[in-house]
Amino acid sequence: MEKAAAEATEKGTNVAVKGEAAIRPEFLTTKEKFHGFIDSEWRGSKGEKASGQDTKEVGGEEPEAKKLKLDTEEKSTQGKPDGKRLRGQNKSRPHTKPTTYDEKRLCLSVIQDNRECPFGDKCHFEHDVAQYMACKPADIGQSCYLYDTFGKCTYGLSCRFAKAHTTSDFKTMENTDLVKTHDRNPVKNSLSKDLQNRLRKRSVAFKKSEEYLKTLSNNRNKTAQQGNGEACAAEVSAAPAGGEQLKCTEAETQAILDKQPPVKTVGPLTDVDIIKLRFCEKKQVDFKDKLYLAPLTTCGNLPFRRVCKRFGVDITCGEMAMCTNLLQGQQSEWALLKRHESEDLFGVQVEGCFPDTMTRCAELINNNTDVDFVDINSGCPIELVYKKGGGCGLMTRTRKFEQIVKGMNYVLDVPLTVKIRTGVQEKSNVAHKLIPEMKNWGVSMITLHGRSREQRYTKLADWDYISSCSKLANPVPLFGNGDILSYEDAMKARETGVSGLMIARGALIKPWIFTEIKESRHWDISSSERLDILKDFTNFGLEHWGCDTRGVEKTRTFMLEWLSFMCRYIPVGLLERVPQKINERPPYYMGRNYLETLMASQNVGDWVRISEMLLGPVPKNFIFLPKHKANSYK
């Protein structure tokens, strides 16, 4: 027994060195015991599996561990039947549209006060209410969040909580007092049909953008003629008074005009002149000592940001939006710009690689949305974005980067910020060269992620480098980003002299991190409190995406994406050494109760079970594969 205990202790020490979190020995278990306990308890509480299907059919098997690079011989035996190699998890993910979960959908004309359908017999949706209710999936719960909060559910009979606000003769009820209280829309920045049509017809005017782009083309012409200018100067000195002297005098006059001060010194000064040209007149934002929730693709949606606002985050930002898609009026891309009224300091992040599209996009956002700042994504490592010159690619295209920044600054009435990485290659940092230049370009704030594109999320963020860059950036505020998962990490990061902190994965793993930082404590949050957070997200999701079958399944999908990060959290009371580090892999352990154990599972099927506790059973044809596969433990 003593020998076995000694071996276990030695093994535990080795595991800790290899990157696994140090958990108290009494909570540690094996993979087989862990999943056996979860499955037996789930069957015991439900009588059978909630969906009536095997876990593998519902959500797929547990994600495999990260594989080592194969030899050339092994590579040739793996891949597609046509010999092509499989690349990227996202390319093989199942993409099931939420609309496929509804066998029959009720026509909007029936939902909205039984008005006459404009499509008549050609309409593909259901008009017979009794027939629709007979085949509609069972209600999820007894109370509807939208009805209880706003006094009216716009989804009517198609709502998955319809019994809460439907009479026996299939009429939708209203609570007039609540309706009067909530007579405004809490979400801003929606794309209007009129603007969408004008964007599609390319009839939107971009006056300020055209002014800037005209100066760009003029500058190119001047550069091209620069060689001829020197020859002209020689001719001027040699020639007597005459035509040639006059031509060069005009050129000199134009050069003087180009160097005119930003504010007129002759003639009346109008408001238009000041607003157009003076940077000091722009709206200013105080970024100092703020906590900034990173613009997280997929997971940084509006409901998740609302959850983080409850825990004390100061600055929120929409997910990365492609500027070309915004200019084309794509509804799905404009949805990324939506802002909830609780987001008091909110910005949007755009990605692009050309000055013309980025400048026009900035003007479009400036004129049609309510934002506090606009952020340029020059740190995205995704291959698709990088190859066309966007994201991290901008860091290697300094001239284009400068033109984009100056153009966007020219058309914006709000501050312009930039998010960058240390560089593209792992051992070749370029951020320290870019930052002094960006100060001259007119950037209001810089965020630096302490890794290169090549690193992605392997190895720790380089906070020493972030510290040196923050000194270079002064007086422009610089935010640091990377590996913050506790208030202790935040305190160490602040010692580097950064103006504020951006938190990304740390907020996904534990959104209450903002409370921990502001209160300087480790919060041993209970599993029931964590379930309440997921309940809040569910309610916010039903409000944002809808409470019909389509909205419910969309909410479920985004919740499962979030759970693929949240399952990495290890409760404080189980740790041998506090705090948990972001690069430490959680081993198999038993929680202090069943729910805590379930939330620790890395199995997709167990995340589906958690979603079923809040959103009811999944549809028969439901499939989910997580978008993100962690390799941060390398």
- Show which residues are catalytic: 380
DSSP 625: -
DSSP 575: B
Residue 2 CB-density burial (10 A; 0-12 exposed, 13-18 middle, 19+ buried): exposed
**285 C-beta neighbours (distance < 10 Å), count:** 18
Phi, psi of 292 (to 5 degrees): -120, 120
What is the sign, positive or negative, of the torsion defined by CA atoms of 551, 553, 557, 562?
positive
> What dihedral do alpha carbons 588, 589, 594, 600 form, nearest 10°?
-50
Task: Report the distance separating Cα 153 and Cα 156, nearest Å.
Answer: 6
Length of the chain equals 634
Q: Which residues contact 506 (CB under 8 A, 6 or more apart)?
A: 483, 484, 485, 489, 513, 582
Phi, psi of 489 (to 5 degrees): -60, -40
Measure CA 55 to chain center.
29
Residue 314: closest CA among 605, 594, 62, 515: 515
Task: Report the distance separating Cα 51 and Cα 17, nearest Å.
Answer: 40
Helices 463-473 and 431-441 cross at an angle (nearest 10°) of 30
Phi, psi of 315 (to 5 degrees): -115, 130
Exposure string over 217-242, b if 16+ CB within 10 A, otherwise e: eeeeeeeeeeeeeeeeeeeeeeeeee
Helices and strands, number each (H, E), in the chain: 28, 11
**Rounded to the nearest 5 degrees, what angle is found at the Cα of 279, between the Cα atoms of 277 and 282?**
105
Do 466 and 450 form a contact (C-beta atoms < 8 A)?
yes
